[in-house]
Amino acid sequence: MNFNAVTIRDIAKELNLSVSTVSKALRDSYEISEKTKKLVIECARRNNYRPNPIAQSLKQGNSKSIGIVVSTIENQFFAQVINGIESVAHKEGYNVIITQTHESYDLEVKNVNHLTSRSIDGLLISLSTETPDVEHLKTLHAQGLPMVFFDRVTEEINTHKVISDNYKGAYDATKHLIDSGFRRIAHITSPPNISITKERLAGYKAALADAGIFTPDYYISYCPHGGRDISEIENALNFLLNLEDKPDAIFTTSDRITTTTIFLLNKLKVAIPADVALVGYTNTTLADVLNPPLSSVHQQGFEIGQKATEMLLSLIKSKWPVTEFETVVLPTHLFIRESSTKPKK
């Protein structure tokens, strides 16, 4: 930084003291007399001295910053998670570096490398939908980088995790559709490899099974890129709506898939819920104002972020290697609106 060149050395020179005295005075060391402390502090203030955090980091071996990897901050859910992360991190004097994968594996690897090469103290990560394996994270984990997974987690790395109760969220949504009188309930979801897909699929299947409703496998559509390409969802809908036993309801996962589905159904002039009902996962604040108001499973994004950060900081601050890990599961909430209300005949 050349825009703020005042260093501890300048103060030392001005006061005819050694740098170590100045440093200790500023850190309020017991070794320094009150008189000198006052002198130093006053001089620092007068010269608008700010300790160079880079030098501090180098000396202390930590950077007081944590890295975040999410798919995209345009997703309201992740924006809320990040707000939760920041609320805890800032309180503890950590700053955060946010990176986005846009669901790409390449970008995930690049971002993780970039973050670690920026010397982060810990990592908060939600896996990209396109991530086939977690070797890039295993190495770092083995090297001792504290990491906490949230939302999309992996079984292959043993560390803290924070997730929503995806199973129950999906179960509740599906059961609600069943209770509302729908029987042919399709499911449009993310790629089968990521955790949230599996958990939500299990909840969906369980609700149907518990109600004794048989559902063919072709009612389940996976979007390989998590809805990054609108065509993925378009294809899924075209397929479903042209079936002979066309579904009378759809349960969607993920913010993007859900909001895109409502957009496409409207465009296709498929009436919701008259032609097909819809319940989705989304954290948009606009669900109420959509046409029609969208029934949705809402996740506690902010709280997920908070919890994950608390756990990460506890790992970072721990003096001994942590071997006991925890997976925190936060409840989801189903908001019932018009998109899933059986129209009266």
262 near a copy of itself, rule: CB under 8 A: yes
19 near a copy of itself, rule: CB under 8 A: no
Tell me which residues in 90-119 interact with a copy of itself (CB under 8 A).
Answer: 90, 95-100, 114, 116-119
80 near a copy of itself, rule: CB under 8 A: yes
* Contacted entry of a copy of itself, DNA, none for residue 132, CB cut-off 5 to 8 Å set by kind: none
Q: Which of 21, 63, 104, 126 binds a copy of itself (CB under 8 A)?
A: 63
Q: How far apart are CA 41 and CA 49, in angstroms?
A: 9
60 near DNA, rule: CB under 7 A: yes
Tokens 């969802």 identify what position? 233
Question: CB of 108 within 8 A of CB of 70?
Answer: no
Of 189, 170, 337, whose CA–CA distance to 254 is shortest?
189
3 near a copy of itself, rule: CB under 8 A: yes
Tell me which residues in 1-40 interact with DNA (CB under 7 A).
Answer: 5, 7-9, 16-21, 23-24, 26-27, 31-33, 35-36
Q: What CA dihedral angle connects 53, 147, 222 and 224, to 10 degrees?
A: 50
304 near DNA, rule: CB under 7 A: no
* Contacted entry of DNA, a copy of itself, none for residue 220, CB cut-off 5 to 8 Å set by kind: none
Give the CA angle between residues 118, 120, 125 to the nearest 5°: 110
Q: Which of 3, 45, 48, 61 binds DNA (CB under 7 A)?
A: 61
What values do phi and psi take at 297, rounded to 5? -90, 125
Of 122, 316, 301, 129, whose CA–CA distance to 137 is shortest?
122
Q: How far apart are CA 95 and CA 248, in angstroms?
A: 48
Of 266, 263, 252, 243, whose CA–CA distance to 222 is shortest?
252
Q: Which of 218, 239, 263, 325 binds a copy of itself (CB under 8 A)?
A: 263
Residues at the interface with DNA (CB under 7 A): 5, 7-9, 16-21, 23-24, 26-27, 31-33, 35-36, 49-52, 55-56, 58-61
